[in-house]
Amino acid sequence: MRPVLSICVVVRNAAAELALTLGSLDRQYEYLIDLPSEVVIIEGESTDTSPTVASEWAMRVKFPVRIVSQVPKGIYPAMNEAWSKAEGQWLVFINAGDLLLDGKPLFSALRKAIEEGSHSIQFQSAIFLPGASRGIWIPGLYPACHQALVYKRELHELCGPYDERFNVCADRIFDQQIIAHGRKLYPAVLSATQVGPANRSRNPDLLCQDLRKSEELNIPFKLASPPWLTFLVLRLEKAVGLSFSVWLRLWIRILGGSAQWVSLR
């Protein structure tokens, strides 16, 4: 039977993070098997134990798992390899270090989207610090992150692949392109992702290069804050080793009652 959903996981030299991600899929097994689902792991020729973690997990789970080894070229070539190898009608990227928190709304929303002919579903997402047992999420907020976006594979045929000319913004650019094809907002937390200065998406140099590239290619892309302020904050965060701007905003929301804790286990 062809899978309805392909869960795409990209990993390179992140064995511990991969184990956390695959463990989160284990906890949602009953929903994933009923969809049905497959897992596509793109392994970037890691020199740590990531290949072993992936292969041992694949041997013990009861839904299809395919592990594809790829010469490391970057995150977006790996994501493009993942969806090109996927057989599911729908895709979601839960990369190494991300967590799939709740398969129940995923199951319900996908069934409804198939009936209604929707092309993408935007869930909500939580963020967490490495090693934490709880994350924080903001009810009613739908962040533009691939961990909370489930979409039809055919959108790549309409909008093309993730643009490999970009370092960290190609998923957000792709997200902007596919909104025009219709999107359902689903008020449930689907995933959680770690946020810290080590995240490629918070690297000021890579982000600066992408903004210049977007202007050069005339591809619309805007930051939530003025670029000078964004780069100043990101460089400060990189220097101190803490994404204080993110956590300060979240703690203010926690104290004000507009953000909530969510269990990661």
CA distance 223 to 238: 18
- Please choose, from the candidates 27, 8, 20, 90, the residue with its C-alpha nearest in 3D space to the C-alpha of residue 50: 20
User: β-strands 149-152, 120-128: how paired?
Assistant: antiparallel
pLDDT at 162 over 90: yes
Spatial distance between the Cα atoms of 199 and 185, rounded to a whole number of angstroms: 26
Cβ–Cβ contacts within 10 Å for residue 258, how many? Answer: 13
Q: Is 201 left (phi over 0), alpha (psi -120 to 50) or beta?
A: alpha
pLDDT at 131 over 90: no
- Flag the least confident range among 18-22, 49-53, 243-247: 243-247
pLDDT, position 11: 96
Q: Please provide the DSSP assignment of 103-140 as one string.
A: HHHHHHHHHHHHHHT-SEEEEEEEEE-TT-SEEEE-TT
Residue 250 has pLDDT above 90, yes or no: no
Tens of pLDDT, residue by residue over 175-231, are 989 988 988 999 999 999 988 777 888 888 999 999 999 999 998 877 777 887 888
Residues 145 and 93: their CA atoms lie apart, in Å, by 10
Question: Closest Cα to residue 151, out of 105, 89, 98?
Answer: 89
Domain spans in the chain, listed from the N-terminal domain onward: 5-263
* pTM greater than 0.95 (yes/no): no
CA neighbor of 31 nearest in space, from 69, 55, 65, 4: 4
Quote the pLDDT of residue 228.
Answer: 79
pLDDT at 243: 84
Q: Is residue 12 a contact partner of residue 44, using CB atoms and an 8 Å limit?
A: yes
Question: What angle is formed at CA 100 by the lines to CA 172 and CA 57, rounded to 5 degrees?
Answer: 115
Please give the average per-residue pLDDT across 233-255, as a whole number.
87
The topology (CATH level 3) of 5-263 is: Spore Coat Polysaccharide Biosynthesis Protein SpsA; Chain A (3.90.550)
Q: Check residue 20 and give its pLDDT.
A: 95
